[in-house]
Amino acid sequence: VPDAHRDGITCIREWNQFIVTGGEDHYCRVWHRRTRELLAQYCVHRSPITDIILDLEKPNLFHSCSEDRLIVTYDVKKNRPIVQRMTPNSNCTGLAQRRDCEREVLSCGLDGRILFWDIDVAEPVGCFHEPDTKLICLAVSPDGRYVAAGTEHSWVYIFDLSESRKIQEQEGHTGSITSIVWSPDQKQLITTSADASVAVW
């Protein structure tokens, strides 16, 4: 798809029938996976999109975050944004979603906080805080018990959601961690870094 966004594309996610992209031009766009047709576009953010996730429970919803501190939930059936939340202290750098409880959306930011958001509540309903740390990305484990976060100073943190505490921290890169994913069997974490390396934990 040429010229899918006016500037760089910062994130991409896919459903069975659709592809969602976010860009430096502040837009989130929904594309038909087979025809490549642009189906919808939303310009709610005022800064580049930093992450997009598809909702685990409702297949018509997706969530985006941005450097403008907004976290937005969209309904593609209604073709509009339905919820907007503002992180209190810092721009939002990454999103994930709990697989238990209320399917809360998790956000991380440069203030060292992982915030928990319920779709029906304007303010965060929970928080992990790592002072003097800039969090770049995060991922919830396949069984939903753990969340792993990558930092600007090359560390990986793992938190136990059921016990609400950090259980591990590891260092293996020499640059900022740019993405983090769990393996399907949950025995490994894979991270990429600004130091041009990929690490398997």
**What's the per-residue H, E or C state across 43-62?**
CCCCCCEEEEEECCCCCCEE
* pLDDT attached to residue 121: 87
The contacts of residue 187 (CB under 8 Å, 6+ apart) are: none
Compute the average pLDDT of residues 88-112: 93
pTM for this structure? 0.94
Confidence band of 31 (pLDDT split at 50, 70, 90): very high
Query: Looking at this protein, which amino acid is placed at residue 146?
Result: Y
Residues 48 and 23: beta-carbon distance below 8 Å: yes
* Dist CA 10 CA 105 (whole Å): 20
Half-sphere exposure of residue 145, counting CA atoms within 13 Å on the CB side? 6
* pLDDT attached to residue 126: 94
Residues 87 and 71: beta-carbon distance below 8 Å: yes
* pLDDT attached to residue 171: 93
Is pLDDT of 101 > 80? Answer: no
Give tens-digit pLDDT for 7-19.
999 999 999 899 9
Half-sphere exposure of residue 49, counting CA atoms within 13 Å on the CB side? 28
3-state SS class at 29: strand
* Helix locations, 10-103, DSSP H: none
* pLDDT attached to residue 102: 82
* pLDDT attached to residue 80: 97
The first and second tokens of residue 120, run together, are 């029906």
Confidence band of 119 (pLDDT split at 50, 70, 90): confident
User: DSSP string spanning 113-144?
Assistant: EEEEE-TT-SS-SEEEE-TT--EEEEEE-TTS
Confidence band of 145 (pLDDT split at 50, 70, 90): very high
Q: Is 126 exposed, middle or buried (0-12, 13-18, 19+ CB in 10 A)?
A: middle
Give tens-digit pLDDT for 45-85.
999 999 999 999 999 999 999 999 999 999 999 999 999 99
Considering the chain, what is the average pLDDT of its residues?
Answer: 95
Is pLDDT of 89 > 90? Answer: no
* Dist CA 16 CA 60 (whole Å): 12
* Dist CA 144 CA 147 (whole Å): 8
